[in-house]
Amino acid sequence: MRSKELSRRDFLRLVGIGGGAALLNACAPRVLTETVFPPTSTAGMNTAATSGAVDVEIALKAVEGEVQILPGNATRVWRYQAEVLSGPADAVQVIPGSYLGPIFNVKRGQTIRIYFTNELRESSIVHWHGLHVPVEADGHPRLAIESGETYIYEFTVLDRAGTYWYHPHPHGRTGPQAYAGLAGLLLISDDEESGLGLPSGDYDMPIVIQDRRFDNNNQLVYGGNGMMDQMMGFLGDQILINGQIDFSLSVETRPYRLRLLNGSNSRIYKLAWDDGTPLTVLATDGGLLEKPVEREYITLAPAQRVELWVDFSKDEIGSERNLVNLPFDAYGGGSEYQVLPVKVEKDVTVSAPLPETLSNITWQDADKAVNRRSPRDFTLAMGGGMQWSLNGRTFEMNDVAKDEIVKLGDLEVWEFKNQANGGMGMGMMNETLPHPMHVHGLQYQVIEREVDSSGRSAWETLKDGHVDEGWHDTVLVMPGERVKILLKFEDFTGLYLYHCHNLEHEDMGMMRNYRVDA
């Protein structure tokens, strides 16, 4: 059995509950027409743009294509392609041989314009996950464009240095589109970060973790378990790193910065080094921590990022260590399997000490929240019609409820409560699910977790891996758990989203608007 396959037990559990596999896309790629950039006129285009000069201009398109992932037939994928139209050439960095979109490298303070052209045969839109941008640039599903259309994004990079990402966000189709390959990293740097002397260049490695399933012709399989995949979330049986199935990291005996993104649709990882070395964390979703922190293992839910500082200087040449997933007690957590094998191959002597302090952070104070005595709360549960819901509601494209309106400038406490069994009597739903809750348009602080007795034992198997220090845009809420977050609504008014980042749950409607009013 391949080392990166999940255990047989996990696999059987996956295939045992459903029928045959459905091909994601059985059609041949069509001939694409060339689009000329920048367009001479924006007439008839969807745009949030001005006509002024910006620091970086990028043409981005979503296309159908093929990549070699497995030996034999190439795999049909959907992918992002980009080129720099003006600004620094390294603003777009292709990952060779990967279906993943290119890495966008931008600096805090830069103004960015992106011409996104949809060359898929269905509607789509791009969301800049984690970024604090105006609503017109946030990729809300109501802004989705049809095949052949272009949407122009324009925003200033206001966020802290860190690891962010981009992916599609059309309603009901985010799961399949991201699964087909549409996702990429967006890295922000700033002066504070560059002054730290963290490992850079070849020693600063993106590690995008995803799970996929392939049929006998090497084609991606999605939704083969029908309703079950929708209800629970899609799980693959193979782990891919940066879009590659046999990825192994060759390192020198020196420190590295590894930027981990869980780009999976619904799989949660409990990551640890197989030799027991603790993990040193530099950053979370919203950038650098104040100081590095250590964990025995890291819990990484879909959409979450964590940056690790890993020192291989005491490892022997020829030795290996593996980042593995440890078993835990929640959906997808049944077994131990390999995630990232590392081979130590070259001897070097480099002095690159781990900085003691990483960043100066001005925290918000929960006591100053306008609703500190009665947090805005959201119950995550299975609602009527067998749909995951937020306070009993599912997604509505243009509407908000009264209790989903916040005021510009306010600091608020929100509480997500994962109702342990959602009132369901159905046998298969007895395994209640964790929900990674994402809020668009800002970074928040995680200020409190509490779990009830029904959820405690499962919760214990993942709780020590949360890195609640730092800024977050996605937080895992386990069955029976309540998590409080602290959010400040700044700079922009309008309609943003909050939703579960289990993409199958999101597509089913476990997503709502919230509105920031002036």
The residues of the shown chain that bind Cu ion, judged by CB under 5 A, are 435, 500, 502, 505
Contact between 435 and ligand C2O by CB under 6 A: the answer reads no
Asked whether 128 and 172 are in contact (CB, 8 A), the reply is no
4, 79, 113, 129: residue in contact with ligand C2O (rule CB under 6 A)? 129
Residue 420 CB, nearest distance to Cu ion (Å)?
A: 14
- For residues 353 and 411, give the distance between their C-alpha atoms in angstroms, rounded to a whole number: 37
Residue 505 near ligand C2O by CB under 6 A? no
- Residue with the shortest CB distance to ligand C2O: 129
Residue among 348 and 397 whose Cβ is closer to ligand C2O: 397
Q: Which of 107, 127, 295, 505 binds ligand C2O (CB under 6 A)?
A: 127
Please identify, among the stretches 378-386, 425-433, 449-457, 493-501, the one whose residues bind ligand C2O according to the rule CB under 6 A: 493-501
Q: With respect to ligand C2O, which residue has the nearer C-beta, 6 or 103? A: 103
- How would DSSP label each residue in 491-506? S--EEEEEEESSHHHH
CA dist., res. 416 & res. 169, Å (int): 22
Candidates 213, 440, 488, 505; binder of ligand C2O (CB under 6 A) is 440
For the window 161-190, what string marks contact with ligand C2O as x by the rule CB under 6 A? ------x-x---------------------
Cα–chain-centroid distance for residue 332? 17
Report the residue number, 225 or 253, with the smaller CB distance to Cu ion. Answer: 225
Rounded to whole angstroms, the Cα distance separating 323 from 285 reads 20
Name which of 11 and 234 has its Cβ closer to ligand C2O. Answer: 234
Nearest to 274 by CA among 342, 212, 207: 342
- Rule CB under 6 A: which of 285-344 touch ligand C2O? 303
The answer to whether 234 and 222 are in contact (CB under 8 A) is yes
Among 267, 321, 488, 499, binds ligand C2O (CB under 6 A): 499
Q: Which stretch binds ligand C2O (CB under 6 A): 34-42, 97-105, 182-190, 497-505?
A: 497-505
Query: Count of CB atoms within 10 A of residue 125's CB?
Result: 24
Q: 288 exposed, middle or buried (CB, 10 Å; 0-12, 13-18, 19+)?
A: buried
> Residue 167 CB, nearest distance to ligand C2O (Å)?
6
**Residues 146, 62, 109, CA angle at the centre, nearest 5°?**
105
- By a kind-dependent CB cut-off of 5 to 8 A, residue 502 interacts, out of ligand C2O, Cu ion, none, with Cu ion
- Residue 388 CB burial class (10 angstroms; 0-12, 13-18, ≥19): buried
- Please state, in angstroms and as integers, the Cα–Cα distance from residue 92 to each residue in 60, 77, 95, following that order: 10, 20, 10
| Interface residues toward ligand C2O, by CB under 6 A | 127, 129, 167, 169, 303, 438, 440, 497, 499, 501
